[in-house]
């Protein structure tokens, strides 16, 4: 697992995400709006919308919030002028970062992301500068409770997945970008509960960080993720588990 994913898991285990639930509601609402705008408001025929709704329900997002977001995206309430923007750049020690944002004001968000890169010893670059360090793939999250790794692995491989990673309290099923939705649907039909699915950027090679370089990079990642318009951040770094644990206060 990359350093970024491990860091996210550590923060979640220690409860630091609980205080951010309102912010998470806002970000998931944006994803629902965009999903409905691009693929329609029917989750049965819109895998991306279905995954966004699942993500909302996983954090107990009120059904009324979900319904309003779908209506806004589908145009029933006047629509929302929210667009997706992908930013690329580099942090400490040349770590590559991909920042996916969802915004109603591209100029404002561009300025904010550029400022964060600069503030935390990084540089925002031009489109394509960091993407060469990643592969576009898919990830499906499955709660581990009541499921053996063997059962999940067999069902995932039969559905066309590439790999299964045991995260302790959940399993991550890795797919190609093109087969993400098909594998997710097949798992659910096989009786495997899916907590969420999404396209991701997987590092082709990772940069090992320690000490102050690791702390500096994590500050940049955290600051980017705190931005209201940022939906996802991917980075190609790795940090030893003990160092990660020591950094979280």
DSSP code of residue 169 = S
pTM: 0.84
Torsion angle (degrees, nearest 10) of CA 10, 13, 16, 20? 110
State how far the Cα of 194 lies from the Cα of 62, in Å rounded to an integer.
Answer: 19
Which of 12-21, 155-164, 239-248 is predicted least confidently? 12-21
Between 166 and 58, where is the model more confident?
166
3-74 is classed CATH 1.10.10.200: yes
Per-residue confidence (pLDDT) for residue 78, from 0 to 100 = 56
Per-residue confidence (pLDDT) for residue 8, from 0 to 100 = 58
Check pLDDT > 90 for residue 17.
no
How far, CA to CA in Å, does 207 sit from each of 25, 134, 138, 210, 239? Answer: 32, 13, 22, 10, 9
Angle ∠(218,221,223) on CA atoms, nearest 5 = 105
- Tens digits of per-residue pLDDT, 31-54? 999 999 989 999 988 988 998 998
The strand order across the sheet containing 196-203 reads 163-166, 170-176, 134-143, 196-203
Torsion angle (degrees, nearest 10) of CA 81, 197, 52, 35? 30
- Tens digits of per-residue pLDDT, 192-206? 999 888 899 999 999
Distant-in-sequence, close-in-space partners of 108: CB < 8 Å, separation ≥ 6: none
Instruction: Label residue 20 by pLDDT band (50, 70, 90).
Output: low
| Cβ-contact 140, 172 below 8 angstroms | yes
State how far the Cα of 64 lies from the Cα of 201, in Å rounded to an integer.
Answer: 32
Residue ranges per structural domain of the chain: 3-74
Secondary structure of residue 205 in the 3-state scheme: coil
């Amino acid at each position: 697992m990359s350093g970024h994913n491990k860091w996210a898991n550590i923060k979640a285990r220690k409860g630091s995400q609980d205080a951010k639930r309102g912010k998470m509601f806002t970000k998931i609402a944006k994803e629902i709006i965009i999903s409905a705008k691009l693929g329609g408001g029917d989750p049965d025929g819109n895998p991306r919308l279905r995954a966004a709704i699942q993500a909302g329900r996983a954090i107990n997002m009120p059904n009324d919030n979900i319904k309003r977001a779908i209506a806004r995206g589908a145009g029933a309430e006047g629509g929302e002028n929210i667009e997706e923007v992908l930013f690329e750049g580099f942090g400490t020690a040349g770590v590559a970062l991909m920042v996916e944002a969802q915004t109603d004001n591209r100029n404002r968000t561009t300025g904010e992301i550029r400022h964060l890169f600069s503030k935390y010893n990084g540089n925002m670059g031009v489109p394509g500068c960091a993407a060469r360090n990643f592969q576009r793939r898919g990830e499906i999250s499955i709660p581990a409770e009541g499921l053996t790794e063997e059962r999940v692995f067999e069902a995932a491989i039969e559905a066309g997945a590439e790999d299964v990673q045991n995260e302790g309290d959940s399993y991550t099923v890795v797919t190609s970008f093109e087969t993400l939705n098909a594998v997710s649907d097949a798992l659910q039909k096989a009786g495997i509960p899916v907590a969420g699915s999404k396209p991701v950027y997987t590092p082709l090679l990772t940069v090992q960080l320690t000490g102050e370089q690791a702390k500096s990079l994590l500050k940049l990642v955290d600051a980017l993720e705190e931005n209201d318009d940022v939906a996802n951040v991917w980075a190609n770094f790795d940090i030893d588990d003990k160092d990660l644990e020591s950094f979280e206060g």
